[in-house]
């Protein structure tokens, strides 16, 4: 897909060969989000979970003149009330030196097109409370926070403890 940027910026689905680039962008995102030591993803885990027989997520890469400068990782969830799947944006990241060019917006537009093509009932994502630039950006696009809900999370250790209960 070529956007309004012409040939200078293009968005495409990532392939197996992009695993090293995806992993680097994940590390860059973790650095930005002040959690560089929390990344445990490996090339093997990404190969299995993004491109394996039972892939869990998909990745869009944004490239400026052939160089990856941003990505969006997403997957489908399901709304019982709507009876339809939704598109959940796990991560969207634009390298800091490439911000302000409309690349993040272009990724979201492409995601909205995918959601429409796949007949999704909604798109959702989370944003860190301190990330004011992202919050302003999302609000400008028409997205609104869902303040009626609180996100809960179990990590691997919590899952293991809960799974042992009878």
Instruction: Report the catalytic residues.
Output: 138
Question: Per DSSP, what are the bridge partners of residue 123?
Answer: 87
Task: Return the axis-axis angle of helices 19-32 and 43-51, rounded to nearest 10°.
Answer: 110
**How many angstroms separate the Cα of 130 from the Cα of each of 30, 47, 134?**
14, 32, 9
Which CA distances in Å does 146 have to 10, 119, 125, 141?
31, 22, 10, 15
């Amino acid at each position: 897909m070529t956007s309004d940027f012409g040939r200078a910026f293009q968005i495409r689905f990532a392939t197996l060969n992009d695993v090293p680039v995806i992993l680097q962008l994940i590390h860059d995102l973790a650095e930005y989000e002040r959690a560089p030591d929390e990344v445990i993803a490996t090339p093997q885990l990404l190969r299995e979970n993004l491109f394996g027989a039972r892939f869990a997520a998909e990745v869009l890469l944004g490239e400026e003149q052939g160089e990856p400068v941003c990505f969006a990782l997403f997957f489908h969830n399901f709304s019982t009330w709507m009876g339809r799947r939704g598109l959940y944006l796990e991560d969207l990241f634009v390298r800091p030196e490439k911000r302000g060019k409309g690349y993040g917006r272009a990724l979201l537009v492409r995601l909205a097109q995918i959601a429409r093509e796949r007949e999704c009932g909604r798109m959702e994502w989370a944003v860190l409370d301190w990330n004011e630039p992202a919050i302003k950006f999302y609000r400008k696009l028409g997205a609104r926070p869902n303040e009626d809900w609180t996100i809960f999370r179990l990590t691997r250790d919590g899952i293991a403890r809960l799974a042992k209960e009878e």
